[in-house]
Amino acid sequence: MIFITGPLYSGKRTFAQKLLGCTPEELNRRAVQDVQDLARDCPNLEKLTEELSCREIVIAVETGGGVVPVDPAERAAREAAGRLACLLAERAETVVRVFCGLPTVLKGELP
């Protein structure tokens, strides 16, 4: 599994499409996107990680780089998203961070 992460609107999907040589429609079939949203109310992040790691590409928006939310539920969701990202990165064969459209391989190698 290739785990792609980075800030919102940083070029993650475009990079994944180029990497797979596919259309946006094909990307929707071959990858799972915005997984940080799945962590919000997930009671078992380990199980979610196991399910997601079966996909070819997993894409997550980085959270936690800005102001800490005042709302406790938003803080908990942000914490869960960060924990999920750590678990996915641990399981992934390759981890790529995309920033300003530029991919940086953090773990493994690109195919």
Between the CA atoms of 78, 82, 88 and 91, what dihedral angle is there, to the nearest 10 degrees? Answer: -150
pLDDT in tens, 36-49: 999 998 999 999 99
Give the burial string for 57-83 (b: 16+ CB within 10 Å, else e).
bbbbbbbeeeeeeeeeeeeebbebbbe
pLDDT digits (tens, 9 = 90+) for 49-62: 999 999 999 999 99
- For residue 19, CA distances in Å to 1, 4, 12, 78 come to 13, 11, 10, 28
Query: Can you give the residue ranges of every domain in the chain?
Result: 2-107
Any residues with CB less than 8 A from the CB of 6 and at least 6 apart, and which? 12, 61, 62, 97, 98, 99
Predicted TM-score (pTM) of this structure: 0.93
Structural domain 2-107, CATH architecture: 3-Layer(aba) Sandwich (3.40)
